[in-house]
Amino acid sequence: MEIRLVPINSANRDECLALGVARGQEKYICPNSESLRAAAESRDIARPFAIYAGDTMVGFTMFAFDSAYDDPDDRYWLWRFMIGAGYQGQGYGSLALKEIISYFRQNGAGHIRLSTKADNAAAISLYRKYGFRESGGMNGDETVFYLKL
């Protein structure tokens, strides 16, 4: 199964906005509409992408690449990562995370940070599977994870 990251644009924006997480997951990630607003406010830093399996959009992700940030450990973040409710449990999350890590590596990042709530067991399990470890830091009420590439 081919997974591709495609920049959000006028052709796929509405489809992205229609994707939502499964019931009960809303406390872990904001709606894609909010993420795209944040991306518009941080154009120099945010990189929003649709996640495609073949020709089907199955999810959304957004990265922060801030090479001007003083602390090199804070320059590269996986800000958002979601798989649409109808596509969960089919392996897309794992395949997409592999593609996301590859993107960071290919674009000069030496590490990736992300944060999630401590009770988001499914996400934490996936992140750990790919080598993310707790950094010891917090981002508000979320635990920060770190992957050295």
CATH of the domain at 98: 3.40.630.30
| Rounded (5°) CA angle 46-146-7 | 25
Non-local (6+) Cβ contacts of 68 within 8 A are none
Print the domain residue range for 18.
Answer: 3-148
User: Do residues 57 and 51 touch, judged by C-beta distance below 8 A?
Assistant: yes
pLDDT, tens digit (0-9, with 9 covering 90-100), for 100-140: 999 999 999 999 999 999 999 999 999 999 999 999 999 99
> What pLDDT shows up at residue 68?
74
Structural domain total, the chain = 1
Between 82 and 69, whose confidence is greater?
A: 82
Encoded tokens for 50: 């649709």
Residue 122 CA, distance from chain mean position: 14
> What pLDDT shows up at residue 70?
67
pLDDT, tens digit (0-9, with 9 covering 90-100), for 38-72: 999 999 999 999 999 999 999 999 999 997 776 76
pLDDT, tens digit (0-9, with 9 covering 90-100), for 7-49: 999 999 999 999 999 999 999 999 999 999 999 999 999 999 9
